[in-house]
Amino acid sequence: MPGGNVRPSYTGLINLGGILPGSGLAPTDGEMRMIWGSRAFFGYAVRDNGEAWWFANIGDAREPSRNAMRQERDAWAGQLTAHFSDDLPLIPDLIRRTSEIHSYPIHDLPHVPCWRDGPVGLIGDAAHATSPSSGQGASLALEDAAHLAVCLRDIADPAAALAHFEAERRPRAEQIVAEGRRRGAYKAPRSRAQMWLRDALMPIVFRFLVTEQSLAWIHDYRVPHSAA
């Protein structure tokens, strides 16, 4: 079968999140607000009706067991509020008032040796699951679908179409998976020194390195019109 016995790779981050109706916060007008905290990463969005959706990424070098992820809501809330105790007050407030907190370790698939077996193939997360830190998981799946449609339209043999699809898509997909892993590494500094260095460099990075031109390889990608 395509994919073989490939295990997901733990990224060193745990994702937690919840929904709070009637948050009392102003709507974010379709934007997701993201905050680089002193110990962890936080994002939230508020709908027009005041409902807040939030998530947090905390670092844990050791991959947690399933039992460890089954902590009670109060245990997660206590751990999260401690992580964000030195950050914006709205963060621990949102966490404390959320009645249900969901949690899971974040994994990716840096390299699946084979995406196909004859006329059977993998696309999307089954072939190249990327960390949410890349911001490109759904986009990659949509690109896959469009590109595969082109290959199946232009190449009569399904097995050959899948082989062409894999050869064309693999370099880009694996590059974005690696990019997601790099971005995630900055979310949960493991020491005060790392936090200080990250925060000192971040304005320079966003002003001179993270630019429209430098990100064009991600955001300006176009699916080929033919499989020639």
DSSP characters for 21-57? Answer: TT--PPP-TTPPEEEE-SSSEEEEEE-TTS-EEEEEE
What is the C-alpha to C-alpha distance for residues 29 and 223, in angstroms, rounded to an integer?
Answer: 30
pLDDT tens for 9-18 read: 999 999 999 9
pLDDT-wise least confident of 21-30, 67-76, 87-96, 132-141? 67-76
Q: Are 140 and 130 within 8 A, CB to CB?
A: yes
Greatest C-alpha distance within the chain: 60
pLDDT tens for 127-161 read: 999 999 999 999 999 999 999 999 999 999 999 99
> Which of 191 and 185 is assigned the larger pLDDT?
185
Average pLDDT of span 166-192: 91
Task: Assign 44 a pLDDT band (cuts: 50, 70, 90).
Answer: very high
The answer for 66, left when phi > 0, alpha when psi is -120 to 50, beta otherwise, is alpha
Tell me what pLDDT residue 125 has: 96
Q: Which domains does the chain have, with CATH numbers?
A: 9-108 (3.30.9.30), 116-219 (3.50.50.60)
Tell me what pLDDT residue 201 has: 73
Residue the block writes with tokens 């080929």: 224
Quick check: 199 pLDDT over 90? no
What letter represents residue 185's amino acid? A
Return the number of other C-beta atoms located less than 10 Å from residue 96's C-beta. Answer: 13
Closest listed residue to residue 171, CA positions, set 147, 192, 204: 147
Backbone angles phi, psi at 208, to 5 degrees: -115, -25
Q: Find the helix packing angle between 137-154 and 158-184, rounded to 10°.
A: 160
Average pLDDT of span 72-81: 95
Tell me what pLDDT residue 208 has: 73
What letter represents residue 221's amino acid? Y
- CA torsion, ordered 28, 80, 135, 121, to nearest 10 deg: -130
Quick check: 188 pLDDT over 90? no
